[in-house]
Structure 1
């Protein structure tokens, strides 16, 4: 049976740590001529727009000798209601792995159930595990092992937040979450994390003494009609210089991008010295290549 990554908790703690550390090793040996993916093809199914997810997977496959196929759902038979199980069985006879970026975790699970090859969640309504592998790689590279440390999530309890919750359990850090009523993370995801994830009363309570501050857009793809409602709900949840000052002096700031300066984060923070957003974005490349190497069963 193939290994899939549909949510971060599909990995054991030791496996997640192995992938993150391996990503940094691949980054250090970028010009070594290492080509582990020769002859391998990654099918990439997109029903949602993408910059970092598409480019990082496509560039990574090319860098390591493989090939990536961009499949816009509207230009395939998936867009004409071909059953997912049929598409899964066909693509997995032709390709080495499949990455899916869509609105439905359930559809990804159905696809994976009928696939002969690894299936990777490139983003769904509930999880964004590849982003968290890159985020943890960035944290390791700049501040060392996050075990025993504190991260503060400020804003929408969305798919990235859910993956951060699972990361807290896998990597042994505490995640404090400040989200307004009606926008808090899924109760089941929170419940599975136990004491690793905690709801804070306010952004200040979450940020105080934290090692890492992280946020995301208040209005994600597909939620544009809710923008004004969300702007009102998230008033007071901006990550600004005053909030960063409550964290530890060497705290870092992360954001998965795209960002809206002046909404969820002030320009002085995202463009300031504590921000690691561009290292974080680059690490999507290395973390995903380490992930593919792991799912392909290639020995490091």
Structure 2
């Protein structure tokens, strides 16, 4: 009996966001677990979507008899390089599929976690955030993790960010699952070696937005970097500086570093910050964009890494600090 044929926990009701982990040590094991999940969805009139590597997608197509109803999307289109964009992509996918009348969308996902610990951390955050960010979108996600290939830290995080684990035989509650808010607060803020060096540009007691933008733009003007990348970074700096001045506690300061491979800027103020670990993974006021609250959300889409420290996140640090990092690919 396959896990999708089991009653009770094997069939979460539509609504919410069931988010399961599939740990496997071979492509055959992955297919043996995922194919029945996708087939059961198609048989129930749901949409079945695969966002995986090409080899996994090919194997699943073969297992499902090349069913034309199976939707295969390029995983790099689904899992964008910046995680808030991935959330937007899956919400859009849900809207598009539900517009056809299906009651729910089943997704088999396989993230490319990237080459470094810094990349891994972004996806570890993402896997926890989507437990809340995709709640109510009538998606059922099963995330595949290769236990032979992925780093141990990624596998450990996967165990903390998925409420259920699936195998070819069963879907069972995961005792290692950590509530998203607490888990996100526990994740470290990575060190940035550039911060131990003299900044390229410094501004203290910031109040003049226009003058500051011109000054930062002047520092970035001579860099060998794509103009659109620099402009996005500059816009993120603007947004975070504006947030600090409008909502933080003076003084507001800015530090800028540049290196051949990345741009780094920190904006700090003396305020207590906020205790919302989901901040910036969607507009602060939902779909009502007229109310503002988009600064951190935009920054997370414009930069490769956005790290928040101090305030309620790390009370001992004094004040709040937002660090923006853009890679010069």
TM-score by length of 1: 0.31
Q: Between Structure 1 and Structure 2, which shows a larger proportion of helix residues? A: 1
TM-score by length of 2: 0.29
Q: Between Structure 1 and Structure 2, which shows a larger proportion of strand residues? A: 2
Based on CA coordinates, which of the two structures has the bigger radius of gyration? 2
